[in-house]
Structure formats: C-alpha cells, structure tokens
Amino acid sequence: MKPEKYLKNYINGQLVPPISGQSITLYNPAIGEVYAYAPDSTQKDVNEAVEAAEAAFPKWSKIGIKTRFRLMMRLADIIEQYLEEFAQAETTDTGKPITLSRTIDIPRSHSNLRFFATAIAHFSSEAHQMENQAINYTLRQPIGVVGCISPWNLPLYLFTWKIAPALAAGNCVVAKPSEITPMTAFLLSKACIEAGIPPGVLNIIHGYGPIAGQAIIEHPKVKAISFTGGTNTGRKIAAIAAPMFKKLSLELGGKNPNIIFADCDFEEMMATTLNSSFANQGQICLCGSRIFVEEPLYERFKAEFVKRTRMLKVGDPTSAITNLGAVVSDLHREKILSYVELAKKEGGKVLCGGEIAEVGGKNAKGYFLKPTIIEGLAHDCRTNQEEIFGPVVTIMPFKTEEEVLMYANSVEYGLSTTIWTNHISRANRMAEQIHAGVVWVNCWLLRDLRTPFGGMKSSGVGREGGLEALRFFTEAKNVCVKYM
Ligand code: TXE
C-alpha cells in the first residue's frame, strides 16, 4: 500500500492514467517541494467512470445487504491493516501532524465504512395505515449513480464519510477527492482492488474542481451529489444541479462561535479551546474561530490562552511532539496572512502569532504559520464575519446572554457552536436559540456517527450522518394498497 509518484484514476476496477495525459503537480506542504503527480482528468474520464458505475448498478443494488456489508468491512480492515502507510501518506499530502493522521483521520475512515456497512442493516422505512381503507408502505430504493466530492482538510476521513453511506445504500459512486490532497484516495483505490469491490461500484477520478468536479456535477446520469468544500463552490454546484433536479447535500464553510461563560470548568475549557482553535492548523470547518468570553473571566482567559498558545509546537508534522504542522499550500498561507493584515486594519491587536513560523532544516521551505490570537475587533467586522480556515482566532468579551447570542448569530454561517457553562438551563436556552446545525456543550468534536450533521444558512443544505445519510442516498417511494 505504498504511495506512488504518478497517481492514477480508478475506473471500472482498474487503475488507469487520465485520457488527456496531463497531470497535476502535488506539493508536500511541510517541505515546500513537489513530490508526486495526480491525473488532470476531464469530462472524458468522468464519462467513462459514469458508464462503469451505471453498468455496475443493477447487480450492486440487488447484491444484498450481507454481501455489501462483507465487502465494505473487508475494505475497512485493509485500511486498518495499512494504517501507518495511510497515515504517513495523509501527513505528506496535507502537512498535518502525524499523530492526528494516526489517531483521527485514518481510524475515522475505516470507522465510517464499518459504521455504514452496519447501519444499512438497521435501516427501515415507514408504514402508514388508513383505518379500514388502505395501507401505505414506503420503499427506500438506491438512487443509481451518485457523485461525491470532498475537500483537502480531512481527505480520507471526509471522502469515506460520503462514499460509505452511498455504497451501503446500494448506489454506485463516482468520487473526486481534492486535487490538493489526492494520495489517500489513490491508496483507497488500491485497497478496493485488494478487497474485491466489484468493478464500477466505486470509481475515483482525480482532477481540478472546475473541470473534473464540474463534469461530475453536470453529468445527467449522476442523480445525487454529496459535496463538502467552500461556500462559493457550493453555490456554483447548486446553480448547476438545481435545474437538473438533482438531490444535493452541501456541507460548506463555518465561522463558529465558542461561547465561554465564567462558571465553566476552566481547565477542561482551556484544554479543549486550544484544540478547537488550532487542531489541524485551524483547517476544520468545525473549529471555533470566534471566541466570546464572559467579562468576569475575560482577563484570566486571555492570559492563560495566550500563554498556552505560545507553548504550542509548530514544526515537522512527522514528529510525534508537533502540535501544528504546515497549512495546506503556499496560496492558502497567503490567504490566511492577508486576513491577519485585514484584522490589524480593522483595529485588531495581535496578541500572539500573526506571522510565518520559521522551521529550519528539511522544513525550511514549508508553509508554517504561528497560531494567532487577535483581540479588540467588533463582532461585525470582516475578520469576524468571513471564514479564514487557518490557525487564527479572535477573542471578545461579553456581558449578557442576549448580547453574545446576537454576536454569535450575526454571521452568514451556521455550522457549529460550542458553549461552556455549568448552568444547565442556560446551556439548553442558548442551544435552542443558536443558529447552528451542531451544538456542543462543554466539549468539542465529540462525534456520534448516528447523529445528524450539517449546517444552516450559508453553511449548507441537508444533513449527513446516520440515518440522514441513508435517507439522502435513497429514493423514497410510497406504495398505497387499498383493502379490498
Ligand atoms: O475548496 P473548494 P478550496 C473553505 C475554506 C477554504 C475555501 C476554499 O474557507 O479556504 O473553502 O478551499 C471541488 N465543481 N473550505 O478552494 O474549491 C474541488 O476540486 C465541482 C471549507 O480548496 O470548495 C475539491 O474537491 N467541484 C471546507 C472540492 O470541490 C468543484 C473544506 C472542495 O474545493 C468545483 C475545504 C466545481 N466548480 C475548504 N470547484 C469545509 N467545509 O470543510 C471545486 N471543486
């Protein structure tokens, strides 16, 4: 299960080069150098993948839950067996600390497959009786060929999060990982071959979003799209897919509030807040990037948070003691730094970080940034309204629940929120009024795969996770039988 220098598409059970013969250059963000090449696929490759998926669908959709379960569990076992190879590949591709790849990204990927392989066996549909007249029962049938498109921040984790429910429900899939981080999706292709996944059931196309990604969205035979990525991309995808009446699940950006009341468990909150601010270099759509602290706690929080942030180790992601690795690309680092400049112009004071982290040796040319805390900004300035998607957070004091609720809900996004308090009624009151699809009380990123997951407002449309994902990847058909 070794990474290769020249990645291939996985179509109809075969590893094949792109028809164009062109490739995309892949950089190791922690080294700042080219290390591999991915296929620069076009509509022609997508057409072949859709054709293969369409041909595989009749058999796969009728093969039976037990067989689908067995094959998906085998695929999960292979990922687990090669966990170290997958983890190393993920870290090379993304710049994230190896500890994260080993303990979160890859374990969650095989869990996704196991979870949905099992969930489908517990999936049921409804029946509605019309007294003395008729019985309605609802069939939940696989849709056919579906498209799954995922981003670069949690590559295999999010790729499998979409593919697993689609396959478990009996669909055939054409999937595209991010062109910035395609290596573990390529390894997944090899794992599929080893697991004996029937040809055409899963097809993995590599390529640029506006070319290969868009070809998947536009293809008339792709009936449903599950997408995670930027809000602007989601908007473009919706504009193409809506007039074709495709089913859409969009998991987009976030600008999540972290609301800290003075009565919280300080130690637990501090340790988790460091994590929710800077895990994966702040490149998780669920990171809490706006931190609101109740006034009596503000100064104590600020002093401790800055002190602990300064102690975080930025550096070689292959080292087990690194807290923050590299951000995903040079371009992305520029974008993040431009927001720090904007924050200063808007009157913000940089309490720590705000600049490139100089990491020497083999990492001298890598894309590192110091974790950054900014204070003194209004809740409605651009820095506090737009998604930065890096290791940058703002801190702001508040006096009342009403005030902080207004701040929290003032953005266009509505993905997740964290609330820190030991006051149970307040936690429930806040949770009810907050604009977010996911609310954590006294914790962060504690995920039960059975729960609905997704955002409101510009953070997306639809919910993934558990039965929601299985509902999304099936077509409901009601059958009404009259009593005679
Ligand atoms: O994402 P894109 P990018 C946010 C974050 C980041 C910004 C842009 O703020 O800075 O989005 O990141 C494919 N048709 N998030 O540019 O472009 C693309 O190839 C079909 C939040 O990397 O949205 C990739 O596979 N597909 C986020 C996927 O979409 C298209 C995670 C995501 O890429 C396409 C990542 C098109 N026209 C970034 N254009 C989260 N919510 O977790 C692109 N793609």
- The ligand 1 atom at the shortest distance from the C-alpha of residue 459 is 41
CA of 328 to the centre of ligand 1 (A): 13
SS3 labels along the chain: CCCCCECCEEECCEEECCCCCCEEEEEECCCCEEEEEEECCCHHHHHHHHHHHHHHHHHHHHCCHHHHHHHHHHHHHHHHHCHHHHHHHHHHHHCCCHHHHHHHHHHHHHHHHHHHHHHHHHCCCCEEEECCCEEEEEEEEECCEEEEECCCCCHHHHHHHHHHHHHHCCCEEEEECCCCCCHHHHHHHHHHHHHCCCCCCEEECCCCHHHHHHHHHHCCCEEEEEEECCHHHHHHHHHHHHHHCCEEEEECCCCEEEEECCCCCHHHHHHHHHHHHHHHHHCCCCCEEEEEEEHHHHHHHHHHHHHHHHHCCECCCCCCCCCECCCCCHHHHHHHHHHHHHHHHCCCEEEECCCECCCCHHHCCCCCECCEEEECCCCCCHHHCCCCCCCEEEEEEECCHHHHHHHHCCCCEECEEEEECCCHHHHHHHHHHCCCCEEEECCCCCCCCCCCECCEECCEECCECHHHHHHHCEEEEEEEEECC
Residue from 174, 233, 248 whose mutation best tests the ligand 1 pocket (most atoms within 8 A of CB):
233
Task: For residues 247 and 266, state if they share a domain.
Answer: no
Please indicate, yes or no, whether residues 224 and 268 belong to a single structural domain of this protein: no
Q: Is residue 234 part of a domain?
A: yes
Q: Does ligand 1 lie within 6 Å of residue 415's CB atom? A: no
Residues 6+ apart with CB under 8 A from 337: 355, 356, 369
Determine the distance from the C-alpha atom of residue 6 to the mean position of all C-alpha atoms in its chain, rounded to a whole number. Answer: 25
Active site residue 285: yes
Is 154 part of any domain? yes
Q: What is the mean pLDDT of residues 263-279?
A: 98
**Residues 260 and 248 both lie in one domain:** no
State if residue 285 touches ligand 1 by the CB under 6 angstroms criterion.
yes
Domains held by the chain: number:
2
Question: Does the pLDDT of residue 2 top 90, yes or no?
Answer: no
Residue 2 lies in a domain: no
Give Cβ neighbours of residue 360 (< 8 Å, ≥ 6 apart).
Answer: none
Whether ligand 1 lies within 6 angstroms of the CB of 229 is answered as yes
153 in contact with ligand 1, CB cutoff 6 A: yes
Residue 113 has pLDDT above 90, yes or no: yes
313-337 average pLDDT score: 98
Q: What proportion of the chain, given as a percentage, has pLDDT over 70?
A: 100
Interval between CA 451 and ligand 1 midpoint (Å) = 24
| Ligand 1 site, residue 179, Cβ cutoff 6 A | yes
| Residue 419: inside a domain | yes
Q: Tell me if 1 is assigned to some domain.
A: no
- Ligand 1 neighbourhood includes 458 CB (under 6 angstroms): no
Residue at 210 is within a domain: yes
Rg of the chain in Å (alpha carbons): 23
Residues 135 and 54 in one domain: yes
Query: Over the chain, what is the mean pLDDT?
Result: 98
Residues 476 and 428 in one domain: no
Give me the mean pLDDT over the 171-197 stretch.
Answer: 98
The CA 58 to ligand 1 mean position distance, Å, reads 32
Question: 472 CB less than 6 Å from ligand 1?
Answer: no
Which protein residue has the closest C-alpha to ligand 1 atom 6?
A: 230
Query: 148, 264, 285, 287: which is the annotated catalytic residue?
Result: 285
Residue nearest to atom 25 of ligand 1 (CA): 178
Q: How many angstroms is it from 297 CA to the middle of ligand 1?
A: 37
Residue 454 lies in a domain: no
Tell how strand 145-149 and strand 172-176 pair up. Answer: parallel
Residues 90 and 158 in one domain: yes
Determine, yes or no, domain membership for 415.
yes
pLDDT score of 1: 85
Do 441 and 468 lie in one domain? The reply is: no
Ligand 1 center from residue 230 Cα (angstroms) = 4
Position 315 confidence tier, pLDDT thresholds 50, 70, 90: very high
- CATH code for the domain of 149: 3.40.605.10
283 within ligand 1 shell (Cβ under 6 A): no
Distance (Å) from CA 233 to ligand 1 centroid? 6
Exposure string of 301-315, with b = 16+ CB inside 10 Å and e = fewer, is bbeebbeebeebebb
Q: Is the pLDDT of residue 197 over 90?
A: yes
Same domain, 215 and 202: yes
Does the pLDDT at position 344 exceed 90?
yes
Q: Looking at the structure, tell me whether residues 121 and 242 fall in a common domain.
A: yes
pLDDT tens, position by position, 57-70? 999 999 999 999 99
- Cα(324) to ligand 1 centroid in Å equals 22
Measured by CA distance, the residue closest to atom 39 of ligand 1 is: 209
What are the backbone dihedrals phi and psi of residue 447, each rounded to the nearest 5 degrees, phi first? -115, 125
Q: Is 192 a catalytic residue?
A: no
Whether 178 lines ligand 1, by a CB cut-off of 6 Å, is: yes
Q: Which residue's CA is the closest to the ligand 1 atom numbered 34? A: 209
Q: Name the CA dihedral angle for 286, 90, 238, 290, rounded to a multiple of 10 degrees.
A: 20
pLDDT band at 419 (very low <50, low <70, confident <90, very high): very high
Say whether both 187 and 322 belong to one domain.
Answer: no
Containing domain of residue 415, as a range? 256-449
CATH of the domain at 317: 3.40.309.10
Q: Average the pLDDT over 210-229 and give the result.
A: 98
Stretch 237-262: mean pLDDT, rounded?
A: 98
Residue 204 pairs in a beta bridge with: 10, 175
pLDDT(199) > 90: yes
- Same domain flag for 296 and 415: yes
Q: Which of 48, 90, 179, 251 is catalytic?
A: 251
* Pocket perturbation via mutation, ligand 1, pick of 42, 46, 149 by most ligand atoms within 8 A of CB: 149
193 and 239 fall within a common domain: yes
With a cut of 90, say whether residue 163 has pLDDT above it.
Answer: yes
Q: Write the CB contacts of 322 (distance below 8 Å, at least 6 apart in sequence).
A: 97, 98, 99, 313, 314, 315, 316
> What is the CA(287)–ligand 1 centre distance, in A?
17
Tell me the pLDDT tens digit for each residue of 55-102. Answer: 999 999 999 999 999 999 999 999 999 999 999 999 999 999 999 999
